[in-house]
Amino acid sequence: MKGNFRWRLLLIIFIFVGALIYFFPTLAGEIPGWWPKFLPQDKIHLGLDLQGGMHLALEVEAHKAVESSVERIKNDLKASLKKERIFFTYLDRVRGDQIEVTLLNPEVKGKFDDYLTDQYPILREMDVQREGDRVKVLLEMDTKQKEAIEKFAVDQALETIRNRVDQFGVAEPEITRQGENRILIQLPGVKDPQRAKDLIGKTALLEFKLVDDEYDLRRALAGEIPFGDVILYQRVVDPQTEAVRKTPFLIRDKTLMTGDALKDARVRLDSYNMPYIALSFNPAGAKLFDQITADNVQKRLAIILDNNVYSAPVIKQRISGGEAVIEGSFSMQEAHDLAIVLRAGSLPAPVRILEERTVGPSLGQDSINKGIKSIIIGGILVVLFMVAYYRFSGVVADMALIMNLILILAVLAALRATLTLPGIAGMVLTVGMAVDANVLIFERIREEVRLGKPPRAALESGYSKAFLTIMDANVTTLIAAVVLLQFGTGPIKGFAVTLSIGILASLFTAMVVTRFVFDAILSRVRVKRLSI
**Residue pLDDT, tens place only, 392-445:** 888 888 888 888 888 988 988 888 777 877 888 888 887 777 788 888 888 888
Which CATH number goes with the domain that contains 100? 3.30.1360
What is the reported pLDDT for 252?
Answer: 92
Do 351 and 366 lie in one domain? The reply is no
d(CA 63, CA 502): 45
End of a domain among 326, 357, 388? 357
Reduced to 3 states (helix: H, G, I; strand: E, B; else coil), residue 237 is strand
Strands 323-326 and 275-281, sheet pairing:
antiparallel
Greater pLDDT, 363 or 506: 506
Say if 162 falls within a structural domain: no
Do 392 and 349 lie in one domain? The reply is no
Q: Name which of 94-103, 123-132, 427-436 the model is least confident about.
A: 427-436
Q: What is the dihedral of CA 144, 145, 151, 152, to 10 degrees?
A: 150
d(CA 102, CA 132): 11
Q: Name which of 243-247, 427-431, 473-477 the model is least confident about.
A: 427-431
Say if 159 falls within a structural domain: no
Query: Following DSSP, what letter does each residue of 73-132 receive, concatenated?
Result: HHHHHHHHHHHTT--EEEEEEETTTEEEEEESSHHHHHHHHHHHHHH-TTEEEEEEEEET
Say if 172 falls within a structural domain: no
d(CA 199, CA 343): 12
Do 253 and 283 lie in one domain? The reply is yes
Instruction: Compute the residue count for the chain.
Output: 532
Reduced to 3 states (helix: H, G, I; strand: E, B; else coil), residue 193 is helix
What is the reported pLDDT for 136?
Answer: 92
Nearest to 411 by CA among 430, 437, 438: 430
Q: What's CA 515's distance to the chain center, in Å?
A: 44
Checking if the pLDDT of 482 tops 70, the result is: yes
Question: How many structural domains comprise the chain?
Answer: 3
Q: Which stretches of 255-328 are DSSP H helices?
A: 283-295
pLDDT band at 364 (very low <50, low <70, confident <90, very high): low
- Contact (CB, 8 A) for 530 and 449: yes
Question: Which residues are within 8 A (CB) of 460 and not within 5 positions of it... i.e. 6 or more apart?
Answer: none
Do 239 and 325 lie in one domain? The reply is yes
Which CATH number goes with the domain that contains 327? 3.30.1360.200
Nearest to 325 by CA among 358, 350, 308, 303: 303
Average of per-residue pLDDT across 343-357? 83
Q: Starting at the edge strand that comes first in sequence, how are the strands of the sheet with 123-131 ordered?
A: 88-94, 98-103, 134-141, 123-131
Which CATH number goes with the domain that contains 18? 1.20.1640.10
End of a domain among 340, 357, 374? 357
How far CA 165 is from CA of 72, 161, 169, 351, 460, in Å, comes to 29, 6, 7, 15, 55
Do 379 and 302 lie in one domain? The reply is no
- Contact (CB, 8 A) for 440 and 466: yes
What is the reported pLDDT for 184?
Answer: 87
What is the reported pLDDT for 249?
Answer: 95
Checking if the pLDDT of 102 tops 60, the result is: yes
Do 101 and 21 lie in one domain? The reply is no
d(CA 257, CA 206): 8
Say if 529 falls within a structural domain: no
End of a domain among 106, 123, 145? 145
d(CA 46, CA 48): 7
Checking if the pLDDT of 2 tops 60, the result is: no
Greater pLDDT, 165 or 362: 165
Do 25 and 93 lie in one domain? The reply is no
Do 97 and 134 lie in one domain? The reply is yes
- Contact (CB, 8 A) for 245 and 236: yes
Do 399 and 306 lie in one domain? The reply is no
Residue 452 class from Cβ within 10 Å (0-12 exposed, 13-18 middle, 19+ buried)? exposed
d(CA 110, CA 446): 95
Residue 258 class from Cβ within 10 Å (0-12 exposed, 13-18 middle, 19+ buried)? middle
Question: Which residues are within 8 A (CB) of 402 and not within 5 positions of it... i.e. 6 or more apart?
Answer: none
In the 8-state DSSP scheme, what is residue 314?
Answer: B
Say if 158 falls within a structural domain: no
Helices 143-168 and 62-83 sit at what angle, rounded to 10 degrees? 120
Do 247 and 370 lie in one domain? The reply is no
What is the reported pLDDT for 172?
Answer: 67
- Contact (CB, 8 A) for 249 and 215: no
Checking if the pLDDT of 521 tops 70, the result is: yes
In the 8-state DSSP scheme, what is residue 32?
Answer: P
Q: What is the largest CA-CA distance in the chain?
A: 114
d(CA 287, CA 165): 31
Angle at 382 between CA 380 and CA 386, to 5 degrees: 120
Whole domain around residue 258: which residue ranges?
A: 202-357
Say if 164 falls within a structural domain: no
Say if 532 falls within a structural domain: no
Do 378 and 341 lie in one domain? The reply is no
d(CA 512, CA 514): 6
Question: Which residues are within 8 A (CB) of 430 and not within 5 positions of it... i.e. 6 or more apart?
Answer: 404, 408, 498, 499, 502, 503, 505, 506
In degrees rounded to 5, what are phi and psi of residue 314? Answer: -80, 135
* Most confident of the ranges 35-44, 193-202, 289-298, 380-389: 289-298
> Which residue type sits at 287?
K
What is the reported pLDDT for 296?
Answer: 92
d(CA 205, CA 264): 15
pLDDT band at 217 (very low <50, low <70, confident <90, very high): very high
Say if 321 falls within a structural domain: yes
Do 373 and 263 lie in one domain? The reply is no
Q: What is the dihedral of CA 481, 482, 488, 494, to 10 degrees?
A: 60
- Contact (CB, 8 A) for 122 and 142: yes
> Own/partner pairs for 5-14, CB < 8 Å, 24+ apart?
5/516, 5/519, 5/520, 5/523, 8/512, 8/516, 9/516, 11/512, 12/512, 12/513, 12/516
Question: Which residues are within 8 A (CB) of 82 and not within 5 positions of it... i.e. 6 or more apart?
Answer: none
